[in-house]
Amino acid sequence: MRELSRRALFAGSAVGAAAAVLPTGPAAAAPRRPRPNPDTGCARYRAAYHFTVPDQWKNDPQRPVWIDGEYRYFYLYNPDYFAGGTMAGTAWRLASSTDLVSFTDRGIAVPKDTTPNGDVWSGSAVVDTEGTAGFGKGAVVVLATMSPDDGPTSQAQYLYWSTDGGRTFTHHGTDPVLPNPGVRDFRDPKVIRDEDRGRWAMALAEGTKVGFYHSADLKRWTYAGGFTREGLGVLECPDLFRITAADGTSKWVLGVSANGKAAGLPNTYAYWTGTFDGGAFTPDATEPQWLDHGFDWYGAVTFDRHRADGTVDPGVRHAMGWLNNWDYANVTPTIDSDGFNGTDSIVREIRLKRTTSGTYYLASQPVTTLDDHVSRTVRLGDLTVDGTRVLDYEGTAYELSCEITWDQLTGAGVQLRRSGDGSRHVDAGVYADYAFVNRRGAANPDTSGKWQESHSPFDPSARTVRLRVLVDRTSVEMFVDDGRYTHSTEVFPYLIDTGLALFTVGGRAVFRNTVVREFTL
């Protein structure tokens, strides 16, 4: 079959919807071509209510900081994405938000290629309230990885500082504040204030180890210990924080972006609860838990939730991830339709909860301020389903919530972005002893066909499940049972596929309090 261009593929035409497949090979993976013009009548795939980069490319989120009553959100941005070649490489771009749903672009904050060290990779920003680094009280200090010569032991940590609230930064010389000790992977510093010991602490990705360091002034760092975990690939973007459960229990959490696919595990955010003494992290269990079981929640960060008066809520954190995967990072219809590649998950609220067996875990829910952006609510009530029931609703971006109950059943769920003839759709729900999202029935970025259905555990003896599913033009995010498990997945349904249906397998179920909500930013 003759390969169609992406522009023709995603135009939303009946021909494209019936016949096209995602392009494969180098042409799909190397966007070295003139920058697209999104004003050509092409169908638009920019997300309706998720954060997207204004143009070009974004990948890893960088942990937001709270300044002057708003969150300042940095992320890796390549302004030369469409040029490719020697122009590759990221800067830090800034956006601000008061509610973590609607963002205002503030442009590039930490530029690339302004020193001999080249572009700027992942790291973290902190507000130096007491001025420990010598740049003044309230200065924003960034620690980020740079790799000057791309050599095997070139990665090191460099410092940038800002006295205008993080809008513009100055480099602190061209020497690293934490040089490479001679290892290949030495990156993604996550810096926190260790209040118990009155100093700064850093978690650093070092291959299959997370190294811990401490500093009094953010400029000189001392190695304190490490945490090693084999079998999850190269660990990236570490995270370290403390959170308190409703029962008063406080836990340290160590998180990493990890690739567990070889072991049948997710390729998202693995975490352990435990204790941290400033140099060693001791996990409660050897095996990690996962903050997302989908295919596309990578480079994730968590950050403090600030109350209206600016104080930090110890029982809730926010979290957000890059809605993409390095296995197919350049495959998306937004490149040609809208001139960009880069979407984030919805910001979540994370809470520490306890199972009946005594295990603590992190539960996720969409940020509550999403409620402030509801523009339409469709209440469908209680619906009895035996087989497939097509609903009287159509849309490309919305939220669906319901509680499914049954006496005897094999599986149940929802068909999202359903085509008129029912041949194309994304399925989300439960089957036997697992919850799932299946994107096989819609265009999606995985041309290998290997990563089409994500799974998380489910106990069928409960005979009930609560689903909350966020659907946008290129994504599906499912929250199961109040966020005990989540699945975030890229999907590229044709824009003419707007239907919604409920389904059961092997029995009858009641979909109680079925509600659809739409959002406007």
Which secondary-structure segment (H or E) carries 9? helix 6-9
Backbone angles phi, psi at 495, to 5 degrees: -70, -15
Q: Taking Cα atoms as reference points, which of 401, 427, 425 lies closest to residue 412?
A: 427
C-alpha dihedral sign at 265, 482, 313, 298: positive
Locate 442 and state its tokens: 């819609």
Q: Report whether 263 contacts 290 (CB < 8 A).
A: no
Give yes or no: 164 in active site: no
Query: What's the number of CA atoms in the CB half-sphere (13 Å) around residue 510?
Result: 7
Q: In 10 A of CB 89, how many CB atoms?
A: 18
Catalytic pick among 55, 60, 304, 427: 60
Does residue 430 contact residue 436 with C-beta atoms inside 8 Å?
yes
d(CA 134, CA 136): 6
CA distance from start to end of the chain = 41
Extended beta strands in 298-410, E state? 298-306, 312-322, 340-341, 348-354, 360-366, 374-385, 388-394, 398-406
Residue whose token pair is 């001791």 = 282
Q: Which two tokens stand for residue 157?
A: 């940590």
DSSP 8-state symbol, 192: E
The Cα–Cα gap between 500 and 400 comes to 10
Amino acid at 472: D
Could you give the CA distance from residue 209 to residue 371 in angstroms, rounded to a whole number? Answer: 40
Q: Which helix (H) or strand (E) holds 18?
A: helix 14-19
Q: Which residues are catalytic?
A: 60
